Amino acid sequence: MAADEEHDTNMGDNDEQPAVEDRRVNIRVRGKAFIPSHSVTRSITKIWKARFTGCWDTWSSVPRAERNIWYDAFKIKYKWDARIEGDVKSVFNTVGSRSFRNFMSKARKKPPTEKPEFMHDEAWQTLCRRWRLPAFIAKSNKGKKAREANKRLHTGGSASNVDHSMQLAEELKREPTAAEIFERTHKGKNKMFVNDEARETWEQYIEYHGADDSLDITSGKISNTHKRWIGHVGSKNGSYYGSGSGVDKYLFQRDTDDEPSVNNSHEDLDRFEDRLNQQEVEQGLMRDEFDTLRNAQEDQSRKLAQVLEAQASYEQNLKKIVYEEVTKVVAQEVGKVVSQEVSKATRQILKAISGKKV
């Protein structure tokens, strides 16, 4: 009996617990975007909004410890190949920064009374005061002019070039060339290019490189077409005509599911630039505060000078009034005395005349 009980106990010890099903969504990284793109971007936006506790208006101004908490929340919902951990975190910051920037850009246009639901009152009011400072407004206008100067039309909508590339790959049953993606994102429903610049850019490329692209399509060397496209349109700050918002500027590098990245220098430069921009804003705030204090001091000095001047004028007027009043009183008193003396002398004269007659 004891042996049976021991046997039962041993069997219980060897029972395996059922594995917990991992329901996290599997994602991949391609260039500077996630696949799938839209759903992951929305999730990142929800994550930072749900945990927004400071007075931050740029991704780089959020403390690293706080961003790590956001990243941990991201890992609860998504999973990926452990070999691309560095790439995932880099793209998480890139996508999060763009989401953060887009939201704050729209928030700055709202009146102070329209506070976002996820923000605390103090944080919102602090941001509103910061956005009204002359230094911030000047920097914002400068950036706006620069963006307008480099703005180009496209028909890609809110979908990234990653999304368009994947759609074309499904349609063509192969990876699309750079020219094919450009044509997809710069032609309207009427099959016409959005403007002459887009049409001329595409036609010139096809004229000079169309045959080379055909050979690369046949051989499967699609990456060569993107290198030629970059050479044709030129690159500016890592971005080239046809790359959309710029987040896909590394779109046509390798798929990081195949090989993990060991070089995040561009991401480091982006973060460094963000920090520099934040420092410029903070310095601008300090300059504005100093100018405000200086202007207030100068205003007080002007008011004090006006008060002293008014006081001196008042004293001068007062002296004049006192002098005039005293003069009147003296004149009146003197007049009385003179009048009395004249009357007295007159009576004496009349009396003397009267005595002589008698």
**Residues 132, 210: one domain?**
no
**Residues 104, 183: one domain?**
no
**Residues 110, 178: one domain?**
no
Other beta carbons less than 10 A from residue 217's beta carbon: 18
User: Higher-confidence residue: 340 or 59?
Assistant: 59
Task: Please state the rounded mean pLDDT for residues 240-248.
Answer: 49
Q: How far apart are CA 9 and CA 5, in angstroms?
A: 6
Residue 112 forms part of a structural domain: yes
Other beta carbons less than 10 A from residue 318's beta carbon: 10
Q: How far apart are CA 170 and CA 164, in angstroms?
A: 10
- Model confidence at 242: pLDDT above 90: no
Q: Say if residues 242 and 266 touch (Cβ distance below 8 Å).
A: no
pLDDT confidence of residue 341: 79
**Residues 34, 137: one domain?**
yes
- Model confidence at 247: pLDDT above 50: no
**Residues 200, 118: one domain?**
no
User: Higher-confidence residue: 90 or 161?
Assistant: 90
pLDDT confidence of residue 182: 83
Structural domain total, the chain: 2
- Model confidence at 214: pLDDT above 50: yes
pLDDT confidence of residue 258: 41
- Model confidence at 144: pLDDT above 80: no
pLDDT confidence of residue 241: 65
Mean pLDDT for the chain? Answer: 76
pTM to 2 decimals? 0.53
pLDDT confidence of residue 18: 64
Domain limits for position 190: 156-245
Structure tokens at 244: 């959309």
**Lowest mean per-residue pLDDT among 3-17, 49-63, 153-167:** 3-17
DSSP 255: B
Q: How far apart are CA 317 and CA 323, in angstroms?
A: 10
The set of residues, in sequence order, having a beta carbon less than 8 Å from that of 172 and lying 6+ positions away, is 180
**Residues 176, 135: one domain?**
no
196-206 pLDDT, tens per residue?
888 888 888 88
- Model confidence at 140: pLDDT above 90: no
Instruction: Report H helices in the chain.
Output: 2-14, 38-50, 64-77, 85-107, 121-131, 134-149, 161-172, 178-186, 196-219, 222-233, 265-357
Highest average pLDDT, of 123-137, 164-178, 324-338, comes from 123-137
Residue 338 forms part of a structural domain: no
